[in-house]
Amino acid sequence: MAAAGLHIRTGIDRLSTMGFVEAATAIPRHLMVFRRLVAAARAGRYRLALLIDYPGFHLRLGQALRRAGVPVLYYIAPQLWAWRPGRIRRLRQAADRLAVVLPFEAGWFQSRGVDCRFVGHPLLDQPRSGREAARQALQLPPESRVLGIFPGSRTPEIHRNWPLFREVASRMMAEGRCTSAIVAGTAEGYYPDPGSIRVFRGAPETVSAAATAVLVKSGTATLEAALSSTPMVVGYRSSWLTYVIARQLMTVDRISLVNLVAERDVVPEFWRLPVSAEAMAAALRPLLDPSSREFSVQQDGLALVRQRLGAPGAAERVAELAGELIG
């Protein structure tokens, strides 16, 4: 956004945190930004607020901005359909209109009194390499079997998922199921004892496109793999306490966006404790063989997901909604 000419008053890097204690220490910074924005809204400086994701802050900010007479367009919906659906009342108070990126969200929010439009997923607008070009970029043989590994982007996620994903990948290589295993690493991520597993710190979508199959943490990376037609196994390892709390709050039985968009089990998920490396390896083995039935069946399911995600042009459709609200 800065490259497009946006003036950044406070960067997200000064606000975002991970963990309960860290979040508490960030409250004063959030309050400062909140008060500054609301004061500017009351002074008549804003014709429209476009709030993107970040519900813990934006649900409160949206309410205050609307009270100050500023129309609010909320883009990327809070996942109330997954947990804490009781916050829907706050969302109705915080937004004049909601722009969502997952097809099933529109009906869910509209049935609960939120003016909502499905705009398509922004991943569809990103340039995407074909498998041949991606393998050339990674210097991989065209016909090799490649395992892509996506343990997450945040440090706590990598810390929990990497040992598990590393064990599964090591088994696949030891068994000869794949000739290469490549981690889609972050710039500063730490991946101890990788052995023969390669860490690639470039564009993660290159790994998705090059891989025969991927082992991936739940999240947007699952949709990236789906758009590259790459079969996957989804895994996530959490602490026991986090798992217990999450199960109390969750209202869905699936955690991968691929399965949620398809509204059925397209890809195997491993997140219910205990998460077993052997079970994940068993699900992954046939997906590294393009001639297997499991590979073919999952490819069909991923085609359905791509169809349901809509067409490119999400940003343009959000801009149209913004123009309507400005009038």
Q: What is the rounded distance in angstroms from the CA atom of residue 242 to the CA atom of residue 188?
A: 25
Residue 231: other Cβ atoms inside 10 A: 27
Q: What is the rounded distance in angstroms from the CA atom of residue 2 to the CA atom of residue 72?
A: 21
**Confidence (pLDDT) at 1:** 82
Closest CA to 30 of 73, 67, 72, 60: 60
pLDDT tens digits along 31-77? 999 999 999 999 999 999 999 998 989 999 999 999 999 999 999 99
Per-residue pLDDT at 226 exceeds 60: yes
Per-residue pLDDT at 147 exceeds 60: yes
Q: What is the mean pLDDT of residues 300-327?
A: 94
| Residue where the block lists tokens 């997906």 | 287
Q: What is the rounded distance in angstroms from the CA atom of residue 225 to the CA atom of residue 148?
A: 10
Report residue 15's pLDDT band, with 50, 70 and 90 as the boundaries.
low
Whole-prediction pTM:
0.85
| Residue where the block lists tokens 């945190």 | 17
Q: What is the mean pLDDT of residues 203-217?
A: 95
Residues 6+ apart with CB under 8 A from 205: 126, 128, 129, 224, 228
Domains in the chain and their CATH numbers? Answer: 12-120+311-326 (3.40.50.2000), 131-308 (3.40.50.2000)
Q: What is the rounded distance in angstroms from the CA atom of residue 218 to the CA atom of residue 84?
A: 19
- The three-state secondary structure class of 309 is coil
Give the angle 271-273-274 at the CA atoms, nearest 5°: 110
Of the ranges 80-84, 106-110, 312-316, which one carries the lowest mean pLDDT score?
Answer: 80-84
pLDDT tens digits along 93-125? 999 999 999 999 999 999 999 999 999 999 999
Per-residue pLDDT at 327 exceeds 90: no
Q: What is the mean pLDDT of residues 304-308?
A: 95
> In the chain, what percentage of residues exceed pLDDT 90?
74
Report residue 162's pLDDT band, with 50, 70 and 90 as the boundaries.
very high
Average pLDDT, the chain: 91
Most confident stretch, 152-161, 237-246, 282-291: 282-291
Q: What is the mean pLDDT of residues 132-149?
A: 95
Q: What is the rounded distance in angstroms from the CA atom of residue 198 to the CA atom of residue 138?
A: 10
Q: What is the mean pLDDT of residues 171-199?
A: 95
Per-residue pLDDT at 316 exceeds 90: yes
Task: Compute CA distances 220 → 9, 152, 285, whole Å.
Answer: 27, 10, 23
Answer positive or negative: Cα dihedral of 31, 36, 42, 48: negative
Q: What is the mean pLDDT of residues 212-227?
A: 94
Prior bond to 127 cis, omega within 30?
Answer: no
**Confidence (pLDDT) at 154:** 84
Closest CA to 233 of 252, 213, 219, 253: 213
**Radius of gyration of the chain, Cα coordinates, nearest whole angstrom:** 21
Structure tokens at 13: 């890097």
Report residue 25's pLDDT band, with 50, 70 and 90 as the boundaries.
low
